[in-house]
Amino acid sequence: MSGELEALIIGPGAMGCLHAALMAEAGLEVALLDYRAERAARIAERGIIVEEDGEKRTVPIVCGVDPSTMGSAQYGIIFVKAYDTVEAVTRAVPALRDDASMLTLQNGIGNYERISEIIPPARVLAGTTTTGATLLGDGHVRVAGRGSVQFGSPKGNPRRVRATEALLARGGIEHETTIAVDDVLWAKAIVNAAINPLTALTGLRNGMLVEHDELRELMRAVVREAATVARACGIFVREDIGMMVESICGATAENRSSMLQDVTAGKRTEIDFINGEIARRAEEREREAPICRLLTSLIHGREQAGLTET
């Protein structure tokens, strides 16, 4: 394919496949960028399979590994793991127009800063999504629940925000904008820091973390520590964020967190960009984050065990 694209979705994981499918179904010209040729060929041939509300549907999609053949996109939306950010954005550049916007909806802290070393900062947008999805196979995704995208411009570029808002609206993606981008990203990171490593280490689904007193207290301790670091970084953190984390555990009770899925599959996790990044930023400000640092080390050990087992 070569021509004009409205959006290039970068990363064929659960969220990338789902958003590519939703936008394609809405009639947008979109393509999915992969880095594995065999997987890309399967997705291009078969389409994206979406399971939602007990039904299954297949959405045709353009998918490939060579960005120079993908067309010229006005928007890039990146869903890759945080540790692949720089490589993925660098690879995508040939498929982007010279004035293209780049929106990151990834987990972790520091993604938009790394993207801004490749794409001019005024063109970089960042946010989070509350949609839940599980990848069942190549290009095969199950929707756990439709949520909303919250995003904004870290550099305060309202024109880019308005244009991207229009794109998401046309693509059928629920969304809202914010001027407090860092506050939003940190709130999501605090939630992930409290839930993900504990599920990955115990093998429990999210809801079980609030069913065990010891785990509930440990989760609360992580929230307190991470919130303290965030505030030291000038971030606004709501006072009831601990209650919010527990509420999320209840609302996603049957979910297996992405970090639990990663360690189960013997894959690298995003721990360095969640708890590890929180601990690093604490150290920068001459503060301590011993629980986040400990959880980071334990997950590293779990990763090594998974590599050994596989």
Beta bridge partners of 124: 102
> CA dihedral in degrees (185, 80, 91, 118; nearest 10)?
10
Do 230 and 201 reside in the same domain of the chain?
A: yes
Per-residue pLDDT of the chain (310 residues; tens, 9 = 90+): 446 899 999 999 999 999 999 999 999 999 999 999 999 999 999 999 999 999 999 999 999 999 988 889 999 999 999 999 999 999 999 999 999 999 999 999 999 999 999 999 999 999 999 988 889 999 999 998 888 999 999 999 999 999 999 999 999 999 999 999 999 999 999 999 999 999 999 999 999 999 999 999 999 999 999 999 999 999 999 999 999 999 999 988 888 899 998 999 999 999 999 999 999 999 999 999 999 999 999 999 999 987 666 4
Do 223 and 76 reside in the same domain of the chain?
A: no
Which pLDDT value is given to residue 1? 47
* Range 207-231 burial, b when 16+ CB lie within 10 A, else e: bbbbeeeebbebbbebbebbbbbbe
Give dist(CA 245, CA 225) in Å, integer. 14
Number of domains in the chain: 2
Do 175 and 186 reside in the same domain of the chain?
A: no
Which pLDDT value is given to residue 132? 84
Do 150 and 72 reside in the same domain of the chain?
A: yes
- Let me know: does 147 contact 125? Beta carbons within 8 Å: no
- Let me know: does 245 contact 190? Beta carbons within 8 Å: yes
> CA dihedral in degrees (142, 209, 261, 52; nearest 10)?
0
Do 245 and 264 reside in the same domain of the chain?
A: yes
Do 148 and 206 reside in the same domain of the chain?
A: no
Give dist(CA 109, CA 192) in Å, integer. 11
Which pLDDT value is given to residue 156? 95
Distant-in-sequence, close-in-space partners of 192: CB < 8 Å, separation ≥ 6? 107, 108, 259, 274
The pTM is what?
Answer: 0.94
Give dist(CA 186, CA 150) in Å, integer. 13
Active site residues: 188
Which pLDDT value is given to residue 145? 81
- Let me know: does 40 contact 50? Beta carbons within 8 Å: no
CATH number assigned to the domain comprising residue 114: 3.40.50.720
First and final CA of the chain: distance in angstroms? 37
Do 32 and 146 reside in the same domain of the chain?
A: yes
Amino acid making up residue 157: N
- Let me know: does 19 contact 77? Beta carbons within 8 Å: yes
Do 51 and 162 reside in the same domain of the chain?
A: yes
- Let me know: does 63 contact 37? Beta carbons within 8 Å: no
Beta bridge partners of 52: 55
**Which residues form the domain of 284?**
182-309
- Among 151, 179, 207, the domain-final residue is 179
Which pLDDT value is given to residue 309? 60
Give dist(CA 124, CA 151) in Å, integer. 11
CATH number assigned to the domain comprising residue 304: 1.10.1040.10
